Structure 1
Amino acid sequence: MIYPVVRPLIFRLDAERAHGVALRALKTMPSALLASPPLPQASLASEVAGLRFPNPVGMAAGFDKNGEVPDALLRCGFGFAELGSVTPRPQAGNPRPRMFRLAKDRAVINRLGFNNEGADAVAVRMRRRARIDGARDGIVGINIGANKDSVDRIDDYARMTRTMAPYASYLAVNISSPNTPGLRALQDEGALTELLDAVNEARGAIRVPVFLKVAPDLEPADIDAIARIAADKGLGALMVSNTTVARPPLASRHADEAGGLSGAPLREMALLRLRDFRKATGGTIPLIGIGGIFTAEDAWERIRAGASLVQLYSAMVYEGPGIAAKITRRLPELMRRDGFSTIAEAVGSE
């Protein structure tokens, strides 16, 4: 694994250029040079929303916005990969610079603003992928969003559902980005009910599971309402959580930049929010733990707190594409230490 050697060079680039380098490396370099994933282990596999995940560690949305490298990520050892966020029309996003590496804090701040090539371009890639023998074996979710200038954002989500449902293992409805003005208002009870009704109607006969991604910056009443609506609408999972607009004490020079904060400083807030949703749902809806996960111990703590699956992104920035393999090698040791033989047994056991 060459990442520790090249990381000092990559960190000389600004964060968004470095991200582009990472995508090109995944497209062109043999997977064995990037990561050495362990052989699949039955103890790490679990079923969520009718999908069989080979291990619980996924790549979060934001890394592969346009569906360029999902299978490369799976070959690096991720149990699943999530593309996007994708919007109906292509979108340039916010002005640069808009992504900042906070190395002293092992964190990232971004205000990208759903920059992506649009639904048509991603659908072409997904159709091409579907024609390749064996490529559909891995679980690839698609994270859907609304255009910044849309006059009807709920209609955007319905359109995205119709477009992407044929190609997605699951759809992640993202209403939690802080970088599209007004988007988080869709977490309000009335708007969320209307949104999920539209999404459920739009997927029609294609019974692809629908997940909902929520923000960490929620009040207790919001959590209870979201949990209730998620159950009523038959969601496959709740994804807890996205980046935060809060600012804990930070040591890096970009600490005052606007945007969503991810990485190590988000860990405690995301863990607390996961516990809140576990309590609010009573364990009836699968949860996906996201935010500040860097180690197998972090992932295991999230699983014990109620997460059936976990996702990461910022850890990839600091640890490289071998991060999933590193975590999945260590997880079985933690399971044996605490007396569990499968991931499912451990979910919510703290």
Structure 2
Amino acid sequence: MANDCINHEYYLRFSDKVLALIRKIFHKSPEFRHDSFKHVARFAPFIPFMGGRPDLSKPLRRVVTFTDRSNSLYLGCPIILAAGANKTALRIRDYANVGFGGITVGTATRHFREGNTHRPRIGFLEEDRAIHNSMGLNNEGVEVIARRVDAQLVKAHKAGLCVGISVAETPGLSDPEEKLKDIVESFTIAYRAADYIEINVSCPNTGESRVDLDMSFSERIFTEIMNVRNSQTLRKAVYAKLSPDLSERHLISIMDMLVRTGVNGVVVGNTYPTAKMSELPMNAKFDDLTPLRADGDCGGMSGRPLFDNMVWNVKYIREHYPQMSVIACGGIDHGYKIYDLIKLGVDAVQCYSVVAFRWMAAHAMRNELYDALVNDGYKSLGEYDDRNPKKPMVRSV
């Protein structure tokens, strides 16, 4: 593909330096710092210097459509808050205050999970603008999360948010039939509430073997999930969240399988397995992460170092699987990056780590994305899409 994606740099404003000071003050309580974003989202409209409010203007609205007649996704802007930021599905609408056009809640499992018991379970790598996470899929269970999403969906839509639920297999199950039943039940419950469902088959931080490494079992999961989906009156989009460390051969195998089973799209990708962090352009070293590695050297890395890897995967999938919807995730911290990815054919992006390093990051990226559009002669994303139609989304096997 001819389009280039540049790892655009942003320059620290005074507010970003204040955010860095807050990280320094709370450096011994990284999980508290991580969790405090929900309070920022809630109170942003009431604090004058934060400027937090839903942006309901039209230039950055995006509609993602599917040729299999799945429900379209209506995004206030193509920036989605990734799973892990709001695990509880409480106060979903608040995240429109800080600039997001969509949110994926969870990841949810069939029942309540405490997650990994060691502390800390998260760490900030300042020099790399990266986060190491070994939370272990802590959540209140998919029934609780789906019930909350269902109760808040109308208000979220009015604030310009599209809402998805991420679901995963419950760690600790050994019997394949029990595993299959578990994740299909979680999918079915989440499906009733969300605008779209994201199947997380690539979580690296529970100590369990990743589902996406077992192609035979992965195909059984997605075949059964799509059978359930196709039996419903409403057809909602189903995305698979892939790991960013797949070899080209493995990526081809899993993409071929997803096309065969009729999955709508992919999220590219999940956190990068920390044990392989030497493959990323990072200053931090694996041995520096103790005691974060108390989970047995599991865990995942997110943030700026993942960008180049993510771009390679996006380019490959868009070139070889143009029928698949693609949501890009990994190292996205600048609006010009989002524009570059849109030119590559992605429908939206997901991010979260950036909110720890940029003040009101989604609002800043919205401004940069709009500037990029204007500089290229467009007044809106809608105008861009009209003048640059995608390749026909025709499924092949």
The TM-score, its normalising length taken from structure 2, stands at: 0.79
- CA distance 1:140–1:134, shift in 2 (3 Å): closer
2:306/2:331 contact within 8 Å kept: yes
- Stretches of structure 1 that go unaligned for 5 or more consecutive residues are none
Q: Does 1:185 align with 2:211?
A: yes
Whether the 8 Å contact between 2:240 and 2:263 is mirrored in structure 1 is: yes
CA contact 2:199–2:238 (8 Å) conserved in 1:
yes
Pairing of 1:224-235 with structure 2 (within 5 A): 224-235=252-263
Aligned to 2:310: 270
Unmatched segments (≥5 aa) in structure 2: 1-13, 67-71, 392-397
Match of 1:292 among 309, 323, 331: 331
The residue number in structure 2 matching 1:108 is 131
Aligned to 1:47: 64
- Inter-CA distance 130–261: structure 2 relative to 1 (3 Å threshold): closer
Which residue, out of 192, 198, 204, partners 1:172? 198
Query: CA contact under 8 A between 1:155 and 1:198: conserved in structure 2?
Result: no
Distance (whole Å) between structure 1 residues aligned to residue 19 and residue 375 of structure 2? 35
Q: Give aligned pairs, total.
A: 347
Tell whether the 8 Å contact from 2:238 to 2:265 is kept in structure 1 after alignment: yes
Q: Aligned partners of 2:240 and 2:205: how far apart in 1? A: 17
The answer to whether the 8 A contact 1:106-1:318 is kept is: yes
CA distance in 1, matches of 2:46, 2:65: 27
* Alpha-carbon shift at residue 185 of structure 1 (Å): 3.4
Describe the shift of the 1:323–1:182 C-alpha distance in structure 2 as closer, same or farther (beyond 3 A).
same
Shift of 1:76: 2.2
> Aligned partners of 1:175 and 1:310: how far apart in 2?
19
- Rg comparison, structure with higher value: 2
Change in CA separation of 1:132 and 1:316 when aligned onto 2, cut-off 3 Å = closer
Moved more, 178-187 or 304-313: 178-187
Partner Cα distance (2:312, 2:285) in 1: 27
Aligned to 1:149, which of 162, 172, 177? 172
Distance 1:193 1:31, change over 3 A: farther
Match for residue 9 of structure 1 among 5, 18, 22: 22
CA distance 1:70–1:2, change in 2 (3 Å)? farther
Which of 73, 85, 104 is residue 82 of structure 1 equivalent to? 104
Is 1:26 the counterpart of 2:54 in the alignment? no
Distance in 2, matches of 1:123 and 1:336, equals 39
Give 1:287 shift: 0.5
CA distance in 2, matches of 1:253, 1:22: 27
* 1:72-100 Cα shifts (integer Å, max 9, x gaps): 11232211011010111111111221101
The answer for the alignment partner of 2:161 in structure 1 is 138
Amino acid at match of 2:248: P
Going from structure 1 to structure 2, the CA distance change for 1:141 and 1:285 (only over 3 Å counts) comes to: same
The one-character-per-residue Cα deviations of 1:110-140 (angstroms, maximum 9, x if unpaired) are 1111111112321332243247696596310
1:157/1:332 Cα in 2 relative to 1: closer, same or farther (>3 Å)? Answer: same
Aligned residue in 1 for 2:226: 200
Corresponding letter in the other structure for 1:77: G
CA contact (8 A) 1:215 1:241 kept: yes
The residue that corresponds to 1:244 in the other structure is 272
Post-superposition shift, 1:48? 3.6
Establish whether residue 210 from structure 1 lines up as the match of residue 227 from structure 2: no
Partner letter of residue 145 of structure 1? Answer: A
Provide the rounded CA distance (Å) in 2 between the counterparts of 1:184 and 1:139: 28
CA displacement, residues 204-252 of structure 1 (integer Å, 9 cap, x when unaligned): 3142211110001111122212222222222222110111122135334
Matched with 1:318 is 357
- SS of the residue 1:319 aligns to: coil
- Equivalent-residue separation in structure 1 for 2:95 and 2:212 (angstroms): 31
Any runs of at least 4 consecutive aligned residues in structure 1 with deviations exceeding 6 A, and if so which?
A: none
Q: Cα gap change, 1:55/1:43 in structure 2, threshold over 3 Å: closer, same or farther?
A: closer
- The range that moved more, 185-194 or 130-139, is 130-139
**1:338 paired residue number:** 376
Deviation larger for 222-231 or 158-167: 222-231
CA drift of 1:3 comes to 7.0
Which residue in 2 is equivalent to 1:306? 345
Change (3 A) 1:294 1:325: same
Distance in 2, matches of 1:289 and 1:301, equals 11
> Which range is displaced more, 1-10 or 292-301?
1-10
Secondary structure, aligned partner of 1:211: strand
Q: Which moved more, 1:221-230 or 1:247-256?
A: 247-256
Partners of 2:126 and 2:182 in 1: CA distance: 36
Please say which of residues 56-65 and 25-34 is displaced more in the overlay: 25-34
Q: Distance in 1 between matches of 2:147 and 2:78?
A: 28
Q: Is the 8 A contact 2:156 2:162 kept in 1?
A: no
- TM-superposed CA distance for 1:333, in Å, is 2.3
Alignment root-mean-square deviation, CA: 2.7
Instruction: Note if contact 1:38-1:328 (Cα within 8 Å) is conserved in structure 2.
Output: no
Identify if the C-alpha distance between structure 1 residues 150 and 274 changes in structure 2 by more than 3 Å, giving closer, same or farther.
Answer: same
